[in-house]
Amino acid sequence: MKGGLKDRVLEALQGAGGRPLNKSELARVLEVSPKERGQLRSAIAQLEREGRIELGRKGRYGPAGKAAQGTDGNYIEGTIHFPSNFRKHGFFTPVDPEQLPKAARRDEEEGRERLFVPAMRTMTAMHGDRVAVRLQKSSPPKWHRHVKRKREQMKRFGEERYEAHVVKILERRNANLVGTYHQRGRFRYMKPDNPNLPPTVDLTHVLPGATDGDKVVAELEAWDSVHVHPRARMTEVLGAPDAPGVDVLTVIHRYGLPTEFPDAVLREAQEIPDLVDGEDLSYREDWRDRDVFTIDPADARDFDDAICVTPLENGGWELAVHIADVSHYVKPDSALDREARKRGNSVYLPDRVLPMLPEKLSNGICSLKPAVDRLTHAVVMSFDGKGAPGGARFVSAVIHSKRRFSYEEAYKFMKVPPGKVDELPEEDRSITRHLHRAWELGSVLRKRRFAHGSLDLDFAEVRVVLDENGRPTGIEHVEYDESHQLIEEFMLAANEAVARHTKNHQQPSVYRVHDDADPDKLMEFADQARGYGYQVGDLTNRKELQKLLQAIKGKTEEHALKLGLLKSLKRAAYSPDPMGHYGLAKVNYTHFTSPIRRYADLLVHRVLRRSNPAERHPAKDVATPSQARLSEIADHISRTERVAADAEMEAKDMKIMEYLMGLCREKADRTFDAVIVDVRPIGAFAELTGLLIKGLIKKDSLPCDHAYFNGATQTLIGQRPDLKLYAGQKVKVGIARVDLERRLIDFELVER
C-alpha cells in the first residue's frame, strides 16, 4: 500500500498544474481515509527524504525542481563538504553566495559563506559533490555551551536562521568507493570504508583476481536513495588489507588522487632536454660563479629554491632567492600545464609522493641540484641593517649550485662559532661564513616580522620511519631549528616582494589570502586556553594573541592549543584579490617559491614575467588568464590543497596507529604519556606526548564506580575513588583499542 501511495502522491503533485499542495489537500485529492492518514504522512516523509518532492512555503509540497528557495527563485548550486568521514551532517558552500538571503550569509568558513546540512537532508551526497539545495528556515538551538555568546549572536543577526536541504546530486567529485570485498555464495558485495555510506554496496561486476577480504576500488554506478544499496562495478583490486602499501593506496583512491600521468603528458615531458640549452642563457643573468646553495629536507628530491646572501657597504644585505624556472618548460595550456592545473599540487604521503609534474621535470631539469646548470626566476632584494626592505628586482637567471644542504647539515654549520670556522676543512669555510651571514639577516627579518604582528603558528612535527615494505619502525621528531627558520624568512620575503610588484602593476594574479579571525571563535579559543590555566586577554588584540602563543611555547599542551587556534581561524586560500594575510600580518602575499609542487606558484611566475618591464625572457608577452578565469582556478587549487592536506594527515595517522599497535604487540601493558585536550560527556580526549595523535578515554572505562560530566567546569568527575579529568591535565594511558578502518583510538587511564 505504501509503495503505491507514494506513486499516487507523485502523480497528484505533478498533475496539480504546478500548484503545491499541503497534506490535507493531498488527502482530499487522493481520497485517503482517516485510517490511512498515517500512511500518507509516512509516504510524504519518505518522498521528501529521497528528494523526489520538496516542502515549500506554508507547508505545501511540490515535485522536486518546481518550488524555489533562493533569492532569485531558483535552486542554489554549490558543493557539499562533510567535516569528517564519520559525521553524518554536512556543510554547503554556494557557487554564488549572492543567491543566499542576507540572513543566511553570516556563517563563513574559509572566506566563503556556508550553510549547515542536517544528516537527514544530505540525500546520497558524498564529500565534495556538486549539489542543488533548497533553503529551509530553522529555529536557533535551544542550548549551547556558550549560551550568553549565542544570545548575543542571535541579537545581532536576528532569530532567522537557514539550513540547506539537498534536492539533487549534480556531479560526483569522486565516484570511486574503497572498501572490503565479500562473497557469500552467489552474493558479491563490498563493505565501504566510509561509514557515511550504507554498510553494503552491491557489485555489478567483480574482477577475476578478487578474493574474499581484499581491499578493492569500485566505481559508483547508481545510488538514487538512501534506502537502497548503492550499485558499483569493481575497477581495481588493491590486495589484502595487511599487504605492504595497501593502506596508503586506500587513502589515495578514497580521495581520488591521481597516481599516473596521461600518455600525452609523459610524451611532452620526454621532449624536454635533460641539460640546459646554451641558447637559453643569452637573455639571463649569470650567477654560476656565485655561492648559491640549497637547504631542504634530507629525503627531498625536488629542490625548488636556492639562496645567496651578500653584505652591503651600508651594513645591510642583498638577498637573492632563486626559484626553479618551471614556467620556462611548462607552456600555458600544454598537456603538462593542464595536468598540473588539474592536480593543483603535489601530495606527500608517508611512503610515496604524488607529484604535480612528471619526474623528468620535478626531479630532473627543474630541480636545482648541485654542480649542474639550472635555470631560475630570481627575486633580488636589499635590506638595511634593521631588516627594512629596500628595492627588489626580478630576473631570469642561470645558477650552478655550490652545495646541497639538508636542514640538519646546515644547522650543524650554523652552530660553528665564528672563531672556529678557520679550523674547518677548506671547502667548508666559505660556505659556513655564508650561512652565518644568512642567519644574521634571517634572524633580523624574523624579529621584525613578529614585531609587526605575525603569529607564531609553527607546529611540532613527527615523521614516520618506514621499512622497505612500508611498515612503520619508528617516529622521528622534526626540529624546527634556525636552518628551517632561515629558509622560511627568505621565502616569505620573496613571496611578499612578488605580491607587492604584481599588485602595484595591476596585473591579474593569484594571491595567498587569510581572512581576519572571527571574534566569536577567538572567544571560544580563549575559553579553551583558560581551561589549561592560562590568563587570557582580548584575543582580538593581536598583541594579546601573540602573548598567549609565547606563553604556551615549549609546553606539553602547545600542539593541542595551536590546533585549537587554527580551528578558530579561517583557512588560508587562493584568491585573485590581494586581501592580505592575517596570520602573517602582511598586506601583500602570494605563493611564488614552489612552482615544482604548486600550480599557484607556476601561475604567479608567468604573471611576474609579464609585468616586469626589465624582463628579457622571450615568453614575457605570453597571455595570462583573465580575472574571471583566475577566480575559477583559485577556487580549484584551494580545493585540491585541502584534499591533499586531508589525505596526508589521514595516511600519517594510519601509520602512527599501526606503529602503536606494533608497540603494544611487543608489550601489552605499555603506557604512554599524554595530555587531556578536551572533555566531553562521552569522555576525555587525550593526545599522546611526542606522537601528536589523539584518542578517547571513554567515560564508561574510567577506573571508578560512577563518573559524570560537569558542563559548567568542563570536567569529568568520578566517584569511588575520587577522580577528576580536565583540559591540560597530564596523564598516563594505555591502548585499549585501535580501529584502523575508522582511524579511532580508545585509551584507558592508567595514572593521573
Domain ranges of the chain: 2-63, 76-171, 176-243, 263-508+586-649, 517-569, 667-751
Residue 737 has pLDDT above 70, yes or no: yes
Write out pLDDT tens, residues 169-227.
Answer: 888 888 889 999 999 988 999 999 888 788 999 999 999 989 999 999 999 999 988 88
DSSP-assigned states of every residue in 92-111: EEES-GGGS-GGG---EETT
Asked whether 751 and 672 are in contact (CB, 8 A), the reply is no
Write out pLDDT tens, residues 679-735.
Answer: 999 999 999 988 889 999 999 999 888 888 988 888 999 888 889 998 889 999 999
3-class secondary-structure state, position 281 = helix
Asked whether 669 and 683 are in contact (CB, 8 A), the reply is no
Return all residues near 719 (Cβ < 8 A) that are at least 6 apart.
Answer: 704, 705, 706, 707
Q: What is the C-alpha to C-alpha distance for residues 553 and 155, in angstroms, rounded to an integer?
A: 37
Domains 76-171 and 667-751 are alike in CATH topology? yes
Q: What is the C-alpha to C-alpha distance for residues 619 and 608, in angstroms, rounded to an integer?
A: 11
Q: How sure is the predictor about 110, in pLDDT bands with cuts at 50, 70 and 90?
A: very low
> 536-546 as b/e, with b when 16 or more CB fall inside 10 Å?
beebeeeeebb
For residue 56, the model assigns a pLDDT of 67
3-class secondary-structure state, position 619 = helix
Could you give the residue ranges of the DSSP H alpha helices within 582-626?
599-611
Q: What is the C-alpha to C-alpha distance for residues 355 and 115, in angstroms, rounded to an integer?
A: 34
Asked whether 227 and 48 are in contact (CB, 8 A), the reply is no
What is the CATH architecture assignment of 2-63? Orthogonal Bundle (1.10)
The CATH number of 667-751 is 2.40.50.140
What is the CATH architecture assignment of 176-243? Beta Barrel (2.40)
% of the chain at pLDDT higher than 90? 58
> Region 604-608: what's the mean pLDDT?
97
Q: For the purposes of burial, counting CB atoms within 10 Å of the CB of 100, is it exposed (0-12), middle (13-18) or buried (19 or more)?
A: buried
Q: What is the C-alpha to C-alpha distance for residues 91 and 71, in angstroms, rounded to an integer?
A: 19
Task: Tell me the average pLDDT of the chain.
Answer: 88
Q: How sure is the predictor about 155, in pLDDT bands with cuts at 50, 70 and 90?
A: very low
Q: What is the C-alpha to C-alpha distance for residues 189 and 203, in angstroms, rounded to an integer?
A: 5
Angle at the Cα of 508 (from 506 to 511), degrees rounded to 5? Answer: 100
Q: What is the C-alpha to C-alpha distance for residues 537 and 345, in angstroms, rounded to an integer?
A: 39
| Angle between helices 627-666 and 246-254 in degrees, nearest 10 | 150
Residue with cell 634556525: 482
For residue 72, the model assigns a pLDDT of 41
Asked whether 560 and 566 are in contact (CB, 8 A), the reply is no
The dihedral over CA atoms of 467, 469, 470, 474, expressed in degrees to the nearest 10, equals -30
Q: How far apart are the first and last CA of the chain?
A: 61
For residue 107, the model assigns a pLDDT of 47
3-class secondary-structure state, position 423 = helix
Predicted structure pTM score: 0.84
Residue 157 has pLDDT above 50, yes or no: no
According to CATH, the topology of domain 76-171 is: OB fold (Dihydrolipoamide Acetyltransferase, E2P) (2.40.50)
Write out pLDDT tens, residues 634-647.
Answer: 999 999 999 999 99
Closest-CA residue to 369 (of 400, 323, 395): 400
Residue with cell 568558513: 109
Write out pLDDT tens, residues 16-26.
Answer: 655 678 888 88
Residue 317 has pLDDT above 70, yes or no: yes
Asked whether 177 and 232 are in contact (CB, 8 A), the reply is yes
Highest mean pLDDT among 186-195, 302-311, 450-459, 526-535: 302-311
Tell me, what amino acid is at 538? D
42: its cell numbers: 509516512
% of the chain at pLDDT higher than 70? 91
Q: How sure is the predictor about 3, in pLDDT bands with cuts at 50, 70 and 90?
A: low
Tell me, what amino acid is at 521? K
